[in-house]
Structure 1
Amino acid sequence: MRSISIVLLMLIVSTFAVDKNNFKTCEQSSFCRRCRKVQPGSSPYEIIPNTLNTYANHITADIRNNENQHVFVLKLEALKGNMFHFEIDEKSPLKPRYRVTDALQKEPTYESIKVSSTSSEITIISGRNKAVVFLSPFKIEFFQDETLVTSVNSRGLMNFEHLRKKPEPPAGEQEGAEGDESKIDPPEDDPGAWEENFKGHHDSKPNGPSAVALDFTFHQANILFGIPEHADSFALKSTNGGDPYRLYNLDVFEYELQSTMALYGSVPIIYGHGAGATTGIFWQNAAETWVDIAGISAEQNVMSSIVNFVAGSRQSDPPSAHFMSESGIIDTFVLLGSNPNEAFHQYTDLTGNGKLPQMFAIAYHQCRWNYNDEQDVAQVVAKFDEHDIPMDTMWLDIEYTEGKKYFTWDHTKFPHPVEMMKNLSDVGRHLTIIIDPHIKRDSSYFFHNDCTDKGYYIKNKDGKDYEGWCWPGAASYPDFFNPEIRKYYADQYLLDNFKESTIETGIWNDMNEPSVFNGPEITMLKDNLHYGGWEHRDVHNLYGQMQLVGTYDGLVRRSGGSLRPFILTRAHFAGTQRYAGVWTGDNAAEWSHLEMSIPMCLSLSVSGISFCGADVGGFFGNPDGELFYRWNQAGAFQPFFRGHAHIDTKRREPWLFPEDVKLVVRDAIRKRYSYLAFWYTMFYEHERSGLPIMRPMLSQYPLDKNAYALDDQYMLSDKLLVRPVMQKGASKVDVYFPSKNGEKQGDIWYDIDDYRKIERVGVESVSVNSYKIPVYQRGGTIIPKKERIRRSAVLMQDDPFTLIVAVDENNTAKGTLYIDDEKTFEYRQGKYLYLDFEFKDGVLSSRYIDETAKFSTKTWLERVVIVGLNKTPTSATLRTSDNKSTQLEIIDVKKTSFVIRKPGVSMMDNTWSITLNY
């Protein structure tokens, strides 16, 4: 039975479910409404003549606001890889303004520039790119190959509220008391400029108004996308007449769909794409941010189906985005990509690529709030084996702890946690446990005592330990921005400290927005204080990521630097991909939430966070059998695949549904396992290139305007097209097969289930039964599989491979395979195999991509399936690297495909070939 305090807390939180009144609108946010009131067309900002300074790779110049004569400094620099970066900050601020330092993976590499100037403009040339700075009014235009792609402040919406002293109230009047802000006479005509109230919470704003805002126009774009996290379409909609998209990490129970409301994470990267170019704007700011979208036509605001979108239609003005942040500086990267994939690579080159996870982490995970005790865990594990359903990881939510105290166990329910973990590892499985940032204020709890004694907690505005409410009741929050505190927290994961753990235990960082049940908007007060004297308002969206930095450090050191950590997080920011995977939070068991999982994960993927998934089946509510198996089928083709449910839902392990439902779910999970070699290769290639694993259709088909806004189907790498079934009772679904050149030429596609060939461009209505979701392999690709399905991925490590060769119109195909030990960092020391497969002129060949890399593996080639050839060969000849040849048997399977049986060649053979004989 849950404690009374937890019941009360759940009642408190439940009142926030889908109640928009508990979260601010732009009009209720003083800085947002001030920035939004700036009128376009006439900007008071101008470059001060004769202040230009030129350096090898950057320029500086002073900017003046002619309304108040305040002066700022512009720094504009060219970066390697077709990027620019510019900053605008006060020239002589009353105190330093916050600069984000934890999003980039490293200092960028700068490029040399050529500068020329006239009385009206400054031109900066870097390679094929050019930036033109206009002096009055201030504006920057960015060109690629002499084509204008993006402009800054062309709408004149720039706003930079310089720091100032608070004006004295008129004689005889008190300073504005709560609820009476009109008594203050702020520089701006806004009652919330110097202090602000929301639903009984007071924000003292000791530094006064400090907002920054700027508009960006995408001159070649037909579509804008990015700025996750929102439960909305992949293509961003016009916010004219509604609220801007909000970036402010918040704990939103049962979030509303088709909404610009803030959710758990904030990644301030936006892209504009058109047939001529793809441009990205990375607005590096961790404060609360709102983004207005303009120049999107009414047709483009209806995005969910193919027939409703014509990307070529546009209003007279090109699409634009207006970023508005509460504090910080203007710190912006401009990514000048020729196409989407180049822009995606540029962004991850700045913020880092997702790291290769252990193999178990990309297999199936079983979770709920909560598994009751050790016996419950053991029974669930045994049931997966009994029903022949693979599963790699069991998860425990907050109830495993002693009274919600992290790094402890409830020894009544879990008397032998290490033995329990060993029992899992003995059958090739893992355990993941939750560690949240709220720390129970309990004098018998070592972590709380240490944080209190050493001053490790975040402080309130008066310098005292901040206290809020979360699952443990009264709680405080470590200041992870302090390196000493972050190391202390990381040290707790070491086995010398957390003795009832293992080096393989996964960690789940939840509630790290941070969630504060009795705080404003269910989060922390903005005038709380962090390390360095920074207010929480300056760093809010980074808090969860700083916890991840500590978690990751602790897990790496826990294994002596040997094992790759597995971490899942809810809160996220730019750069989170370097440490953890992300899930889409507290969704519901509704068909609409299943549909929304795709655009949400696509938006995260193009923002660097490829390791994404949604709670399969929905966190809240009870899915019926059809929704449950359709969600498992969809989840099997998303990067992170986990079933999860709320504590008050019915148990929903697959065998608790009717037999026909269980068998479909079993089939979906087993299909995931058959493709794990392909998934693993994609994750490795993501670490190398930064390109998303789960990709919007426009990434592969940048010229097909009908594919731009599609968010009910997607690509996995450049090889599989996935279109889940997401409508109740569906017997058919529409699949769009794109054009390669924007006209009638398309790729060849093969249904992965029966190898049916599709040679068309446009929509095809595909029949589906309970087992079927449309998934197609693109002609010209080779995909590795393992078709001996075992109870866990760990136990499949030495199993043989199957290659699926799908030829294009030229009877050619290419693919890759990555192999290592599936768990350690030794691959970074060259202990791996990275293979390139090519089918050309009737010969399938293999070679090492990285010839210096070496890895010993027992794996071998069991089958080759070739689909799409016009005639079937009679036999095949294998030739190995030692020049030995072997005749191989061929089986004609379905006329559309044939199988080469048991080539038997080792995957360590660096140059083998199979020649078809006719």
Structure 2
Amino acid sequence: MITNTEIEKRGNQYPDHIVDFKHESDKFYFTTHNGVILELTILRDSMIRFRYATEHVFEPDFSYAISDDVNLGYNELEVIEEIAEYIITTSKIKIYINKSNLKVHIFDMENALIMEDELGFHWEENYAYGGNIVKMGKICHSGESYYGMGDKASHTNLKGKRVNNWVTDSYAYGKDQEPLYKSIPFYVGLKENIAYGVFFDNSFSTYFDFANEKRNVTSFWADGGEMNYYFFYGPEMSKVVESYTDLTGVPELPPLWALGFHQSKWSYFPESKVKEIASTFRKLQIPCDAIYLDIDYMDGFRCFTWDEQRFPNPKKMIEELEEDGFKTITMIDPGIKIDREYWVYQQAMENGFFCRRADGPHFKGKVWPGECKFPDFTDPEVREWWAGLYKEMIADVGVHGVWNDMNEPAVMEVPSKTANLDVRHNYDGHPCSHRKAHNVYGMQMVRATYDGIKKYTFPKRPFVLTRAAYSGTQRYASTWTGDNVATWEHLWIANVQMQRMCMSGYSFVGSDIGGFAEQPNGELFARWMQLAIFHPFCRVHSSGDHGDQEPWSFGEEITEIVKKYIELRYQLLPYLYTMFYKYIKNGLPMLQSLVFYDQKDTQTHFRTDEFLFGEQLLVCPVQEPNAQGRRMYFPQGKWYNYWTDEVVSGGVEKWVAAEIETIPLFVREGAMVPKYPVQQYVGEKEIKELGIDVYYKDGVENSSVYEDQQDGYDYKKGRYSLRRFRLRGKENQLIIQQFKDGNFTTPYEKFKLTFHGLPFTISTVQLDNEVVNNTDIKLNGNNIIEISKDFTELHIIGK
């Protein structure tokens, strides 16, 4: 990887003085004497796009990352020309453009400096490939911190780190290894309690140096393309992440079963083995919603085929699994086996859908089937064809979801692990080489897959899983963090990767529970499961060549622990579903690092282990063997120990007991946590009542629960139920108000409220201003009440 010093020695060029200025609606153009043009676009009062051209010419303006549904518009806009600079002002920020060198400084409305150019924009002619290596240098201030950047296997705070975005098959990667499976060139900066964000929308190989080489400089650069970045102003981290997520998009609500527990292995075959796994789950009463079929279900690893010896009647098998509550997920890779008798290969050849090298021949690479050719998913015609290939698998055979693996694309037996850089791509009408298309290749494959799955599963919702991703891929698929290892270090890595991905706009994410490579012992597997039930996507997946990795594979004691936590996952499904609703509605990350939760507390800036599951559950995994507990930091507020109801005041680090059967888990005071009864799979039971754990608070707290039919699209027509609760506690009373939205009628009629930490004994209960008899509300002791779901105000008075 080239260094900043090397960059500066290699003939950098810089903008000189401005000779022309134009203002057109929301855009400003600054042209320098040496042919640099800065196009500055006001997207919102707090979202600005900076785009630079050299030699007076912009490249075609096209991006796969930007959502069609992004919200644009600003309230105020003013430009002033001073002697030395132009000043552009919105209702949130002021942008200073230096006339002599085009450098940018950004301030808030209180004149606090947010971000400033160091070298600013500069570039170097790339004589090896043509075009420019484009670069940007910013000042790094003392105490400034950096977060985000997707699936990086390093500390949540990137200060002092350097990372590379080049989507790579990274089998058994290690801590701090670069690059990995995803390219998400977005970071959140935090300076003196002011948060801002930068998204460098460039699909070439990109590099970020967060004060690694020079402690006062943060820089980012790309091997080609444009210097094209978006600036987001907070000042809260939540506002930055929400703005970035709005810009790059969110998924639809998944079917609720996709949030259940999933079991996978490389590979479950033949059919009898798949049925044995399913049967054991039901016999042991361990909840599970989906079983995955890896590449060995195919005929010689040919995508969209079945091995007739191993799976003689896949349609019947899938129907029988579904009768027992299991969804079936199959893997599809991008490499198409070179076989003139293979119908997928024939169609792609006849229509010219395979990628070609610069001099004309098809690109070939070895993957699981042997020599393969690869469709050009950046061609819209190819994507339409690929989507249509799923008809038989989904509509006819009945597969419920698809898993796109190896889509970096991964290629074997070559040092680069991927396609040659001279491979040509359509890039939606903007022809380019693989240097530009590589990072979006997997994204466009899974986009095509999503289109096909959505079409053929309708009126149900699609479920798609991808390994490779670029910013915006969250619109199409869930993801996981690739081929990890069964080690305690990787348990730590999984924890920070989930937090980082969620802060990077990609919340539907999980890891291979227990590790993909090598074999965990029972303790590591149990600790990993305890963590992973608090990840949005929850799946065991292993290479299988080291031993079995099912919940029952490690002895009776571990089986009971694993079962306990999977059951907790299913109890928390309405809470998790509500988290997902808030993610797609407001861009709120489903997991929150402590710094995201409370950026004002400098103690949170370097915490890696603790995180918020949603907004009200505080989780801290045990990440060392033989531990009887651990120290953890509690953010501001009061927190109930989920297991004991002991209350801890925040702002301190404390020892928490946590033997093998326990993970440190705490609930924010005032929370109302919705729960379903334990089910063996989503939809097994009709929900007769909604349980709600109510945690007393002397003060006010808001909670909510979102529900719908758990699948299908009626929720988009208003058929959903959103209940918002306002809890207000006083010395000897508790008031809960309910506000309802949506016209979906939930199947249950009652709430079962379980109270925690009430400082009084209940003497009187008023329901919508009327005193009710204790027998009518089934008052059970001092902590359980069953009431109608339709109340407006519940008033509990103590004595």
Give 1:534 shift.
1.1
Give the corresponding residue for 1:236. Answer: 158
- CA separation in 1, counterparts of 2:753 and 2:410? 51
Instruction: Tell me: CA distance 1:870–1:917, structure 2 relative to 1, closer, same or farther (3 Å).
Output: closer
Q: Which of 194, 197, 202 is the matching residue for 1:280? A: 197
User: What SS does the aligned partner of 1:232 have?
Assistant: coil
Are positions 1:485 and 2:382 aligned together?
A: yes
Give 1:463 shift.
2.1
8 Å contact 1:875–1:888 — kept in the other structure?
no
With 277-286 and 463-472 compared, the bigger mean Cα shift is at 463-472
Q: How many residues align?
A: 792
Structure 2 counterpart of 1:424, which letter? L
User: What SS does the aligned partner of 1:902 have?
Assistant: strand
Instruction: Tell me: CA distance 1:721–1:404, structure 2 relative to 1, closer, same or farther (3 Å).
Output: same
Give the corresponding residue for 2:448. Answer: 550
Instruction: Tell me: CA distance 1:877–1:113, structure 2 relative to 1, closer, same or farther (3 Å).
Output: closer
8 Å contact 2:765–2:794 — kept in the other structure?
no
Are positions 1:512 and 2:407 aligned together?
A: yes
Give the corresponding residue for 2:145. Answer: 223
Instruction: Tell me: CA distance 1:230–1:654, structure 2 relative to 1, closer, same or farther (3 Å).
Output: same
Deviations 1:89-120 (A, max 9, x none): 23455x94674244334465243521111342
Deviations 1:423-465 (A, max 9, x none): 1221222111111111111111111111111110111111222
Instruction: Tell me: CA distance 1:881–1:479, structure 2 relative to 1, closer, same or farther (3 Å).
Output: farther
Deviations 1:363-413 (A, max 9, x none): 100000000111111111111111111001000111111111111111111
8 Å contact 1:227–1:269 — kept in the other structure?
yes
Give the corresponding residue for 1:573. Answer: 470
- 1:765-844 to structure 2, matched below 5 A, reads 765-786=655-676, 788-796=677-685, 798-810=687-699, 812-840=700-728, 842-844=733-735
8 Å contact 1:335–1:343 — kept in the other structure?
yes
Instruction: Tell me: CA distance 1:488–1:34, structure 2 relative to 1, closer, same or farther (3 Å).
Output: farther
Give the corresponding residue for 1:35. Answer: 7
User: What SS does the aligned partner of 1:375 have?
Assistant: helix
Give the corresponding residue for 1:408. Answer: 305
The structure where strand makes up a greater share of residues is: 2
- CA separation in 2, counterparts of 1:217 and 1:446? 56
Are positions 1:269 and 2:194 aligned together?
A: no
8 Å contact 1:130–1:146 — kept in the other structure?
no
Deviations 1:601-638 (A, max 9, x none): 11111110011111001000111110011111111111
Instruction: Tell me: CA distance 1:101–1:667, structure 2 relative to 1, closer, same or farther (3 Å).
Output: closer
Give 1:761 shift.
2.4
Give 1:803 shift.
0.8
Instruction: Tell me: CA distance 1:545–1:883, structure 2 relative to 1, closer, same or farther (3 Å).
Output: farther
- CA separation in 2, counterparts of 1:623 and 1:862? 41
Give 1:701 shift.
1.0
Q: Which of 130, 134, 151 is the matching residue for 1:212? A: 134
Give the corresponding residue for 1:603. Answer: 500
8 Å contact 1:353–1:689 — kept in the other structure?
no
With 418-427 and 603-612 compared, the bigger mean Cα shift is at 418-427
Structure 1 counterpart of 2:121, which letter? M
Give the corresponding residue for 1:90. Answer: 54
Give 1:716 shift.
1.4
Give 1:80 shift.
1.8
Give 1:840 shift.
2.2
Deviations 1:461-506 (A, max 9, x none): 11222111111111111111111110000111224x766532x611
Give the corresponding residue for 2:786. Answer: 902
Are positions 1:870 and 2:759 aligned together?
A: yes
Q: Which of 199, 218, 224 is the matching residue for 1:321? A: 218
Unaligned runs of 5+ in 2: none
With 645-654 and 596-605 compared, the bigger mean Cα shift is at 645-654
Q: Which of 80, 90, 97 is the matching residue for 2:44? A: 80
Deviations 1:262-318 (A, max 9, x none): 100010101111343101001001110111111799xxxxxxxxxxxxxxxxx7x4x
Unaligned runs of 5+ in 1: 1-24, 163-192, 196-204, 298-314, 739-745, 893-897
With 664-673 and 790-799 compared, the bigger mean Cα shift is at 790-799
8 Å contact 1:139–1:151 — kept in the other structure?
no
8 Å contact 2:65–2:248 — kept in the other structure?
no
8 Å contact 1:748–1:809 — kept in the other structure?
no
Structure 1 counterpart of 2:738, which letter? R
Give the corresponding residue for 1:58. Answer: 27
Deviations 1:740-778 (A, max 9, x none): xxxxxx311001112111124211101111111101001
8 Å contact 1:364–1:391 — kept in the other structure?
yes
User: What SS does the aligned partner of 1:598 have?
Assistant: helix
- 1:104-115 to structure 2, matched below 5 A, reads 104-106=67-69, 109-111=72-74, 113-115=77-79
- 1:635-646 to structure 2, matched below 5 A, reads 635-646=532-543
- 1:291-690 to structure 2, matched below 5 A, reads 291-294=208-211, 317=216, 320-495=217-392, 500-502=396-398, 505-531=400-426, 532=429, 533-560=431-458, 562-690=459-587
8 Å contact 1:327–1:538 — kept in the other structure?
yes
With 209-218 and 680-689 compared, the bigger mean Cα shift is at 209-218
> Between the two proteins, what is the percent identity of the paired residues?
28
User: What SS does the aligned partner of 1:246 have?
Assistant: strand
- CA separation in 1, counterparts of 2:277 and 2:45? 50
Give 1:43 shift.
7.1
- 1:748-767 to structure 2, matched below 5 A, reads 748-767=638-657
- CA separation in 2, counterparts of 1:115 and 1:38? 36
User: What SS does the aligned partner of 1:384 have?
Assistant: helix
8 Å contact 2:421–2:434 — kept in the other structure?
yes
Q: Which of 2, 12, 18 is the matching residue for 1:48? A: 18
- CA separation in 1, counterparts of 2:438 and 2:721? 42
User: What SS does the aligned partner of 1:522 have?
Assistant: coil
Structure 2 counterpart of 1:248, which letter? W
- CA separation in 1, counterparts of 2:367 and 2:132? 30
- CA separation in 2, counterparts of 1:619 and 1:277? 39
Give the corresponding residue for 1:155. Answer: 118
- CA separation in 1, counterparts of 2:680 and 2:581? 24
Are positions 1:854 and 2:743 aligned together?
A: yes
Deviations 1:578-607 (A, max 9, x none): 111111110000000001111111111111
8 Å contact 2:40–2:50 — kept in the other structure?
yes
Deviations 1:55-75 (A, max 9, x none): 2222101134xxxx4x12211
- CA separation in 1, counterparts of 2:109 and 2:605? 23
- CA separation in 2, counterparts of 1:419 and 1:799? 32
Give 1:690 shift.
0.3
Instruction: Tell me: CA distance 1:883–1:451, structure 2 relative to 1, closer, same or farther (3 Å).
Output: farther
User: What SS does the aligned partner of 1:546 have?
Assistant: helix
| TM-score calculated relative to the size of structure 2 | 0.94
Instruction: Tell me: CA distance 1:471–1:797, structure 2 relative to 1, closer, same or farther (3 Å).
Output: farther
8 Å contact 2:93–2:107 — kept in the other structure?
yes
User: What SS does the aligned partner of 2:631 have?
Assistant: strand
User: What SS does the aligned partner of 1:890 have?
Assistant: coil
- CA separation in 2, counterparts of 1:585 and 1:370? 16
RMSD between aligned residues: 2.4
- CA separation in 2, counterparts of 1:635 and 1:843? 34
Give 1:912 shift.
5.5
| TM-score calculated relative to the size of structure 1 | 0.83
Structure 2 counterpart of 1:501, which letter? V
Structure 2 counterpart of 1:831, which letter? R
Give 1:237 shift.
3.5
Deviations 1:796-817 (A, max 9, x none): 453421111112332x432101
8 Å contact 2:86–2:96 — kept in the other structure?
yes
